[in-house]
Chains A and B, each alone.
Chain A
């Protein structure tokens, strides 16, 4: 198979990126500011062939071409041609969602057409391109991109690993503008990439060993060990996925491009709804705009809303109707993560259940806190409890996410009861792939990450922690970045063949 390890943390990728960076900023000097987007386009195509499975590049190219054609067709029609517009919409949906579904089903059944797996970035380019079409269809985007612009918008290479799921109007527009070299932006971008490397290579890799020990079939780690493994997985996934975003957004920043954030301290959320506004933010907004709102405006849910309001009263009827639409929404979110039942439960329906239960019991708790106990429902202690509760609920979802299957997840939850705590013979804290030094490195690194990200959030109005460091004197400023660089180089776990960590979200 034509495939060449091109993970974002690999040495090969860094060389590739350095080359792109040089050409990207040198070319405009020769052409008078034009042509940068062709550098990005060529880089994206080359990257795809090298990192993906070679020939499967025809899939994103076909999806881009179809989207470009459908956008042209919709723009050519007047808004009054309702039927024709709808036919184009259906064609676009069938082509994009059809190929997404087909590859997911193939993957689920273990079929590899022609020896290939799914195309690289399938879920990401599908949603980005479909989002573009729907924005044009809904009159939000003017749809001004030519074929090259559409291909680049859908296949911009950093997005092919794990997103973010950008909207054309906030990304593609920037690709076509000239970007002169800006030393500050370049340095800031590289700094953010380094931070992503730190989270990926130093923290995520180490956490992965603990998680693998606990989640191996018949591992013998029960009780509290299951929860240790699960909390480690929560942070493994966070450092892996958000670290990947730091690299993607950082390298885009170095190219003068500003892409939307995908994470904002998700484990500090006080409710599940808030969690989804902080974790994988771009997926949440995409699903809200493209699935949830259209559902609520569909004939079925509008009629259903009336029926329910007549039967249960206005307030309850409205709630029930919203929960019904949410059920479809969360099933879609679960399916996006993969066809397997464990994803539909762990990343979908379980979260739906949490939100519904939360909304249904809200009046009771509000009455309890304010009327019965006469305490402020927003006091710090209760808020802290809510953060812990929300994290725990999210962790239950992660058990499904990480386990091999739904039965395995249920078994782990059963075995995870605290009084069953047991380690296998010869097992224990220091036999989970990390010795005491490694544990020390992990805990210190986690503490650094948490402290830095909290500080960054606090300083966000002043440009975050990088701006703060940039304001320091020359010596301390460079000392900090060199210390981080050496920390990553010395303590990063590079895995076999100097290739990077597996990006967990790459599989989707």
Chain B
């Protein structure tokens, strides 16, 4: 899987978690771009992403990732 494919698979997860079908995610998307993306929803989002990809992130990675691109990189490093 490459970065593009990871981002493609992330999109429906984001739409589902934030309940908004207009969301398009790119590597540069940050929490500032999505209204409901606060620290609590971040945890819910990470839970959903982990289930989609069948892996578990470290708390350290969760708290330090800055944008969707970094999230994709963490996923790629785990595959």
Within 8 Å CB of B47, what residues of A? Answer: 296-297, 302, 305
Given the complex of chains A and B, what is the CA–CA distance between A399 and B43 in angstroms? 35
CB within 8 Å of A: which B31-79 residues? 39-40, 43-44, 46-47, 58-64
- Chain A interface residue number, banded: 10 to 19
- The answer, yes or no, to whether A463 is at the interface (CB within 8 Å) is no
Closest to A134 in B: B59
Given the complex of chains A and B, what is the CA–CA distance between A318 and B59 in angstroms? 21
Q: Is the pair B44, A314 in contact by a Cβ cutoff of 8 Å?
A: no
Cβ of A233 to closest chain B Cβ, rounded Å: 32
Given contacts A289-B63, A296-B47, A315-B19, contact A322 B58 (CB under 8 A): no
Q: Is the pair B60, A138 in contact by a Cβ cutoff of 8 Å?
A: yes
Q: Is the pair B44, A318 in contact by a Cβ cutoff of 8 Å?
A: yes
Q: Is the pair B60, A139 in contact by a Cβ cutoff of 8 Å?
A: yes
- The answer, yes or no, to whether A384 is at the interface (CB within 8 Å) is no
Q: Is the pair B19, A139 in contact by a Cβ cutoff of 8 Å?
A: no
Within 8 Å CB of A296, what residues of B? Answer: 40, 43-44, 47
Q: Is the pair B59, A293 in contact by a Cβ cutoff of 8 Å?
A: yes
Closest to B42 in A: A293
Within 8 Å CB of B61, what residues of A? Answer: 139
Given the complex of chains A and B, what is the CA–CA distance between A354 and B47 in angstroms? 27
Within 8 Å CB of A135, what residues of B? Answer: 60
- The answer, yes or no, to whether A440 is at the interface (CB within 8 Å) is no
Cβ of A277 to closest chain B Cβ, rounded Å: 11
Closest to A137 in B: B59
Instruction: Fill in one digit per residue for A288-301: 1 if any B CB lies within 8 Å of its CB, else 0.
Output: 11000110110000
Within 8 Å CB of A293, what residues of B? Answer: 43, 59, 62
Given contacts A289-B63, A315-B19, contact A138 B58 (CB under 8 A): yes
Given the complex of chains A and B, what is the CA–CA distance between A289 and B59 in angstroms? 9
Given the complex of chains A and B, what is the CA–CA distance between A39 and B39 in angstroms? 39
Given contacts A289-B63, A314-B19, A315-B19, contact A139 B44 (CB under 8 A): no
Cβ of A358 to closest chain B Cβ, rounded Å: 14
Closest to A288 in B: B39
Closest to A326 in B: B40
Q: How many residues of B contact A (CB 8 A)?
A: 14
Cβ of A46 to closest chain B Cβ, rounded Å: 36
Q: Is the pair A294, B44 in contact by a Cβ cutoff of 8 Å?
A: no
Q: Is the pair B59, A140 in contact by a Cβ cutoff of 8 Å?
A: yes
Cβ of B22 to closest chain A Cβ, rounded Å: 17
Cβ of B76 to closest chain A Cβ, rounded Å: 17
CB within 8 Å of B: which A382-399 residues? none
Given the complex of chains A and B, what is the CA–CA distance between A318 and B38 in angstroms? 14
Cβ of B64 to closest chain A Cβ, rounded Å: 8
Given the complex of chains A and B, what is the CA–CA distance between A296 and B40 in angstroms? 9
Within 8 Å CB of B44, what residues of A? Answer: 296, 305, 318
Closest to B64 in A: A140
Given the complex of chains A and B, what is the CA–CA distance between A440 and B22 in angstroms? 61
Cβ of B31 to closest chain A Cβ, rounded Å: 15
Given the complex of chains A and B, what is the CA–CA distance between A294 and B57 in angstroms? 12
Within 8 Å CB of A79, what residues of B? Answer: 58
Closest to A314 in B: B19
Q: Is the pair B58, A297 in contact by a Cβ cutoff of 8 Å?
A: no
Q: Is the pair B58, A139 in contact by a Cβ cutoff of 8 Å?
A: yes
Q: Is the pair B43, A140 in contact by a Cβ cutoff of 8 Å?
A: no
Q: Is the pair A138, B59 in contact by a Cβ cutoff of 8 Å?
A: yes
Given the complex of chains A and B, what is the CA–CA distance between A138 and B43 in angstroms? 15
Given the complex of chains A and B, what is the CA–CA distance between A314 and B17 in angstroms? 9
Cβ of B27 to closest chain A Cβ, rounded Å: 23
Within 8 Å CB of A139, what residues of B? Answer: 58-61
Closest to B51 in A: A302
CB within 8 Å of A: which B3-38 residues? 19
Given the complex of chains A and B, what is the CA–CA distance between A305 and B43 in angstroms? 13
Given the complex of chains A and B, what is the CA–CA distance between A297 and B44 in angstroms? 8
Within 8 Å CB of B58, what residues of A? Answer: 79, 138-139
CB within 8 Å of B: which A460-499 residues? none
Closest to B16 in A: A314
CB within 8 Å of B: which A28-75 residues? none
Given the complex of chains A and B, what is the CA–CA distance between A274 and B43 in angstroms? 19
Given the complex of chains A and B, what is the CA–CA distance between A318 and B62 in angstroms? 20
Within 8 Å CB of B19, what residues of A? Answer: 314-315
Closest to A318 in B: B44
Q: Is the pair B40, A140 in contact by a Cβ cutoff of 8 Å?
A: no
- Nearest first, the 9 closest Cβ-Cβ pairs linking A and B are A138-B59, A139-B60, A140-B60, A139-B58, A296-B43, A138-B60, A293-B43, A138-B58, A302-B47
Please name 26 pairs of A and B residues whose Cβ atoms are closer than 8 Å in the assembled complex, sorted by A.
A79-B58, A135-B60, A138-B58, A138-B59, A139-B60, A140-B59, A140-B60, A140-B63, A288-B39, A289-B63, A293-B43, A293-B59, A293-B62, A294-B59, A296-B40, A296-B43, A296-B44, A296-B47, A297-B46, A297-B47, A305-B44, A305-B47, A314-B19, A315-B19, A318-B44, A322-B40
> B: which residues have CB within 8 A of A?
19, 39-40, 43-44, 46-47, 58-64
> A: which residues have CB within 8 A of B?
79, 135, 138-140, 288-289, 293-294, 296-297, 302, 305, 314-315, 318, 322
